[in-house]
């Protein structure tokens, strides 16, 4: 790595805008996505102390001449200026591409694509494209007409790809932006600091690292790391970005979870539809401290039970606590006249649909979240969330529980949580998958976390 490389500034170019929507697919316009990811990127470069500008910061039309002028006027016609032109592809395909100018080397494009791949998006290729009528020139104006600057076009994925990949793009735009920022930082030698609470899906090789050491650190094996990253030798280079293996391994009927960096009992419980206390019970844990690489047993059933089987040592009070209900509620639901329980007795779990206050819902912060993205998801303002939670700053931590003020949410809506599916939700509310799909105009069965469903 070359740490004396200068960076005068970064120009972020949200592709298209205004009357030019760009590509369209999956109920999304390219121009909206490029603006979303660009504005996030802009804020983050600012946060890192890198001079940065946007060619547009709202939904306005920008013809090629104006766009190029904005780029050249930002920090001058200078090879130390990086231009990141954000786009989505269309026309059939899966994955990301990076296109770089004929005047530049492939170093930056390669890094950006690798970094995007490490965050979980499929990668296709990084390449240059020539104008057919004059092959000494770039095909795209953003390369051809931008002087000495170093421009890259980043195509994060295909807007007309499967619903699942487009959902991935939407849910992970911050993660993808971080991937690009991290690659630029590595290329230009400035210090990349992830935002508070951001857990990367990748590992950047540091001085002194070995495959063996990294495998140990991540709770995996050298072989697995090599396979995942298509490594043919054990050689690593500083700054190289490695994918981290999937965390789940299947062991017969039991699910085993291998603790990785950034995990907490709380986040693992949430992700696996269980509770911290259940995890602690199953694994006989006496504290909340986890170590990377530690294996945890997960409750085998992914279906959320609506009964509880009394175990040795249980009391009504203890069970009520465990299930987030009260003794009287438990007794009511099960027509119990005394507090005496017998081992193996099956109790119905009181319906918890009314657990949520009608004016707020709770939301657990997950990796990649920001106050801005959460507010946007629930159609409320950042300030409203801050006020409701007495927050004095915008920093969030993973697993943090936020109350989201809402007026639009009533008992007849449901906010999709990790692990939910239409079938489970239909069952919970005594309705059918078809009815849910009809009410919510759903064409497929895919849900996204935080999505609000109308129940009746």
In the complex, the residues that contact Zn ion under the rule CB under 5 A are 15, 22, 87
Query: Pseudo-torsion of CA 270, 273, 277, 280, nearest 10°?
Result: -90
Which residues does residue 25 pair with via DSSP β-bridges, in sequence order?
A: 28
Which three-class secondary structure state does DSSP give residue 328?
Answer: helix
In the complex, the smallest distance separating the C-beta of residue 142 from Zn ion, rounded to whole angstroms, is 10
- Nearest distance in Å: CB 30, Zn ion: 5
Comparing CA positions, the residue from 47, 49, 48, 37 lying closest to residue 12 is 37
Q: From the CB of 37, what's the least distance to Zn ion, in Å?
A: 12
Query: Which residue number, 22 or 299, has a Cβ lying nearer to Zn ion?
Result: 22
In the complex, the smallest distance separating the C-beta of residue 373 from Zn ion, rounded to whole angstroms, is 22
Shortest Cβ 170–Zn ion spacing (Å)? 16
For Zn ion, give the closer residue by CB, 19 or 235. 19
Q: Is the CB of 9 or the CB of 22 nearer to Zn ion?
A: 22
Residue 409, helix vs strand vs coil: coil
| Cα gap 35→85, rounded to integer Å | 11
Task: Give whichever of 88 and 436 is closer to Zn ion, judged by the CB atom.
Answer: 88
Alpha-carbon dihedral sign for residues 210, 214, 216, 222: negative
Token pair 């998958």 is at which residue?
Answer: 433
How far is C-alpha 398 from the chain's CA centre? Answer: 12
Q: Report the residue number, 35 or 402, with the smaller CB distance to Zn ion.
A: 35
143 versus 366: smaller Cβ distance to Zn ion: 143
Query: Considering beta carbons, is residue 15 or 17 the nearer one to Zn ion?
Result: 15
Crossing angle (nearest 10°) for helices 163-171 and 173-188: 60
Backbone phi, psi, residue 376, to 5°? -65, -45
Q: Tell me the closest approach of the beta carbon of residue 202 to Zn ion, in angstroms.
A: 26
Choose between 21 and 255: whose C-beta lies nearer to Zn ion: 21
Name the residue whose CB lies closest to Zn ion.
87
Residue closer to Zn ion by CB (options 22, 450) is 22
Shortest Cβ distance from residue 91 to Zn ion (Å)? Answer: 11
Expressed in percent and rounded to 5, the helix, strand and coil fractions of the chain are 30, 20, 50
* CA–CA gap between residue 97 and residue 155 (Å, rounded): 5
Contact present, 121 and 158 (Cβ < 8 Å):
no
CB of 12 to Zn ion, least distance (A): 14
Smallest separation (angstroms) from Zn ion to the CB of 35: 12
**Which residues fall within 8 angstroms of residue 67, CB to CB, at 6 or more apart?**
13, 55, 141, 142
**From the CB of 64, what's the least distance to Zn ion, in Å?**
13
Q: Would you tell me how many other CB atoms lie within 10 Å of the CB of residue 22?
A: 19
Pick 89 or 202: Cβ nearer Zn ion: 89
Closest of 83, 76, 134, 75 to residue 104, by C-alpha: 83
Q: Give 113's contacts (C-beta < 8 A, 6+ positions apart).
A: 96, 97, 98, 123, 125, 126
Contact 359, 405 (CB under 8 A): yes
Phi and psi (nearest 5°) for 140? -90, 135
């Amino acid at each position: 790595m070359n740490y004396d490389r200068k960076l005068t500034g970064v120009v972020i170019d949200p592709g298209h805008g205004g009357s030019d929507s760009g590509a369209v697919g999956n109920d999304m316009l390219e121009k909206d996505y490029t603006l979303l990811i660009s504005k996030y990127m802009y804020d983050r470069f600012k946060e890192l102390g890198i001079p940065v500008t946007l060619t547009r910061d709202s939904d306005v039309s920008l013809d090629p001449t104006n766009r190029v002028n904005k780029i050249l006027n930002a920090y001058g016609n200078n090879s130390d200026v990086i231009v990141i032109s954000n786009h989505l592809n269309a026309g059939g395909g899966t994955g990301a591409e990076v296109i770089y100018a004929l005047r530049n080397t492939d170093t930056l494009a390669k890094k950006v694509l690798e970094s995007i791949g490490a965050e979980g998006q499929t990668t296709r290729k990084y390449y240059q494209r020539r104008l057919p009528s004059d092959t000494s020139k770039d095909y795209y104006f953003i390369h051809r007409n931008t002087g000495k600057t170093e421009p890259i076009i980043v195509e994060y994925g295909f807007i007309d790809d499967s619903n699942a990949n487009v959902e991935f793009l939407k849910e992970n735009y911050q993660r993808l932006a971080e991937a690009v920022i991290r690659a630029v930082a590595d290329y230009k030698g400035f210090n990349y600091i992830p935002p508070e609470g951001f857990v990367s899906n990748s590992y950047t090789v540091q001085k002194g690292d070995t495959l063996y050491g990294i495998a140990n650190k991540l709770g995996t094996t050298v072989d697995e790391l090599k396979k995942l990253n298509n490594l043919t030798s054990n050689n690593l280079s500083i700054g190289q970005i490695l994918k981290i293996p999937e965390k789940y391994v299947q062991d017969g009927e039991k699910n085993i979870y291998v603790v990785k960096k950034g995990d907490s009992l709380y986040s693992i419980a949430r992700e696996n539809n269980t509770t911290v206390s259940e995890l602690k019970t199953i694994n006989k844990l006496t504290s909340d401290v986890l170590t990377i690489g530690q294996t945890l047993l997960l409750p085998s059933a992914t279906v959320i039970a609506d009964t509880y089987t009394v175990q040795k040592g249980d009391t009504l009070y203890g069970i009520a606590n465990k299930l987030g209900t009260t003794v009287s509620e438990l007794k009511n639901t099960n027509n119990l006249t005394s507090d005496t329980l017998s081992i193996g007795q099956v109790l119905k779990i009181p319906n918890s649909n009314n657990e949520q206050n009608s004016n707020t819902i709770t939301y657990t912060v997950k990796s990649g979240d920001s106050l801005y993205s959460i507010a946007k998801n629930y159609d409320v303002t950042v300030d409203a969330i801050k006020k409701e939670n007495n927050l004095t700053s915008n920093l969030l931590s993973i697993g943090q529980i936020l109350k989201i003020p809402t007026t639009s949410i009533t008992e007849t809506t449901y906010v999709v949580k990790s692990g939910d599916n239409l079938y489970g939700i239909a069952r919970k509310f005594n309705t059918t998958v078809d009815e849910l799909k009809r009410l919510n105009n759903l064409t497929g069965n895919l849900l996204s976390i935080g999505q609000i469903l109308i129940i009746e």
